[in-house]
Amino acid sequence: MNWLVYHVASGHSFFSGVALIFFAMLLSDRSGPIAKRVLSVAFLLGVIAIAISSTPLPNWYYVLAGLVTIGWLLSAYVTSWRDYARLAVISTWTVALALEVPFHFTPTLEPTSSRSLTIVGDSITAGMGMQDRSVRWPMLFAAEHQVRVQDLSQPGATTGSALKTVMAQSIAGQVVLLEIGGNDVLGDTAAAEFSNDLDALLSQLVVPGRQVVMFELPLPPFRNDFGRIQRSLARKHKVALVPKRVLLSAITADDSTVDSIHLTPAGHQRMATLVWSFVKSAFPSF
């Protein structure tokens, strides 16, 4: 089931869903019971795939896309609408794809003068129930790439508790990596509280001469609001977002976790490698 979890939580099911809707449209001119049955199944699966992807497009755009799509369905009874309705659906969902695609590219950081990294994270980074703390990915990352790592991660951390930790510390890294928010999404933190805490956290961390990069949160179905908040605040504070698929590729890989979330030693090694893949441009070779 790991592939399905990855496909949905990474947001890739949004693209699959749009593709299925387009496929259903291609079948709409075909007659016969089999074509109609396949059309219905494809359309239904497409809608479900889009809904559970929690892709954080604006709510108003989802309403618009839904109305346009319903118009296309109604055009089956009003032939004169059919071509216009089809064009409207293609245009609307193509724009949706164009809005979403940029969030699936890994950012590139600017070179820094200091090989220093500060990590603000939760138990994915801090580890959970690990006897040998030296196998956690921040330690592996520091040793493998000769980067000074300030690890401010804590088990069970939320965005609110991370804010308190950051306010009590002197931030050493010229690059700051945020792996935070998962406990907010999976816990009982309200979206408004998450927004306030994340805004305050980024305000503390984003200063001239420092680059901040943040893992975009893999979202359970129908938690779009947390994704919208994260993207909006990333734009506001000019913080680079790491696509959800990157974190998920470490969590959903075979032998990576002990409980589907917390990393094994193999998962920590995988995480160290993945983090290096997008921060290495900030730390040129000696």
CA distances from 172 to 146, 166, 282 (A): 15, 11, 15
Beta carbons within 8 Å of 202's beta carbon, 6+ residues apart: 212, 233, 234, 236, 237, 239
Beta carbons within 8 Å of 286's beta carbon, 6+ residues apart: 146
Paired strand residues for 263 = 257
Q: Which pTM was predicted?
A: 0.91
Cβ contact 237:207 at 8 Å = no
pLDDT tens across the length of the chain (286 residues): 578 889 999 999 999 999 999 998 888 777 778 888 898 899 999 999 999 999 999 999 999 999 999 888 887 667 777 788 888 999 999 999 999 999 999 999 999 989 999 999 999 999 876 556 678 999 999 999 999 999 999 999 999 999 999 999 999 999 999 999 999 999 999 999 999 999 999 999 999 999 999 999 999 999 999 999 999 999 999 999 999 999 999 998 888 888 888 899 999 999 999 999 999 999 987 5
- Strand, coil or helix: what is 283? coil
∠ Cα 156 197 242 (to 5°): 75
